[in-house]
Amino acid sequence: MEIADIFRKAYEKQASDLHFMPGCPVMARMEGKLHIFSETDMQETDMEALFSILLTKPQKKRLEAAGEIDAVITTPDQFRFHFNIYRQQGSYAAAVRILASEIPEPAEISIPEAVINLVREPKGLVLITGAAGSGKSTTAASILKEIAAKEAKSIVTIEDPVEYLIPRGKSIISQREVGKDAKGYVQAVHSAMRQDPDIIYIGKLLEKETVLAAIMAAEAGHLVLSSLHTDRIEDTLQSLLVLFGNERKNEIQKRLSNVLRGIVTKKLLPAYHGNGQKAVYEVMSAVPEIQRMISEGRFDQISAVMEKKKEMGMQTIDEALLAAYMKSEISAETAVSAASDAEVMKRKMRIY
């Protein structure tokens, strides 16, 4: 089996992920679904060929010592992959995310202008959320590329690993990788605050210490952009609070209400008639009314305010789904299944 040919074919077919495991055919995820991608099963020799493409000698040693490794590589023919190699049942397997050779323009992945404007705020916290595989990192990279191309900014990214190399444009960009350039997210955020940044991008908010560091950076007057694996605004806010327990709930709600500038939730859905995938976005801007709701923990009331503030670029996920359906970008079935309220979505479709 020629591993290099598998990668070329994956790029041609616009696959998002590849899975390699001895004794199984190569599997590829295309348009959100897994497909068999090779005529024969992977052998141990094929896995060795895969490792020769993906791993450096130091990384091979780390894999042998830890049993897994997560990293990004750019191959000589300019393919770029985010891979996770892990030990299972006495052998190694690999999941490989195929990264775009170029960062897409915002219009190419349907990013609303209101989202770009959130990152033009002089300070505060902006969150990009969505399920795993929805393209949060791609969205963040596209936004940062757009800002860097048009404005002179000092941008620091802190990632694990660095997925996209962002062109500097008119800006200066430092991209730091946790484990290679910095010991951890918290240390890197504190260090970034001393590097005269306009924008700090934190790849993941997984632990309360990182959340606190992000809030502190926003309170200090920086624009902080980060992401979470949540797919509803209410869930995003709750997931942040649950990290701190009841004893700090009121404090964190108050601090979030002061620094949060917006939450963008992305869904990646099957496009109409199987023409790839379509991105839809829920966009919340933290206007004073929503800030009060966050401070008081009334998260379930936020969507009602968003529906009344459309002129500010806000839209709920159901409004975004309905708009995509009306443009024949997604099917009725897809819109209903992805809606927060399926019955209301059906009624609106009948009206139109």
Q: Could you say which residues of the chain have pLDDT below 70? A: 352
CA distance 93 to 90: 10
My answer on whether 264 and 125 are in the same domain is yes
Q: Which two tokens stand for residue 262?
A: 């917006």
Helix 249-259 and helix 208-219, axial crossing angle in degrees, nearest 10: 40
State how far the Cα of 132 lies from the Cα of 135, in Å rounded to an integer: 8
> Are residues 122 and 69 both part of a single domain?
no
Residues 147, 56 share a domain: no
The pLDDT of residue 352 is 63
pLDDT computed for residue 170 by the predictor: 97
Residues 33 and 114 in one domain: no
pLDDT for residue 32: 83
Domain count, the chain: 2
Determine, yes or no, domain membership for 331. no
Output the pLDDT for position 31: 84
Is residue 332 a part of any domain in this protein? no
**Domain match, 112 and 55 both:** no
Specify the CATH number for the domain of residue 298.
Answer: 3.40.50.300
Q: Are residues 152 and 16 in the same domain?
A: no
Domain housing 264: 106-315
Beta bridge partners, 225, equal: 126, 201
Tokens representing 117 are 């404007």
- The answer to whether residue 340 sits within a structural domain is no
Which two structure tokens, joined as six digits, stand for 91? 């052998």
In a domain, 23, yes or no: yes
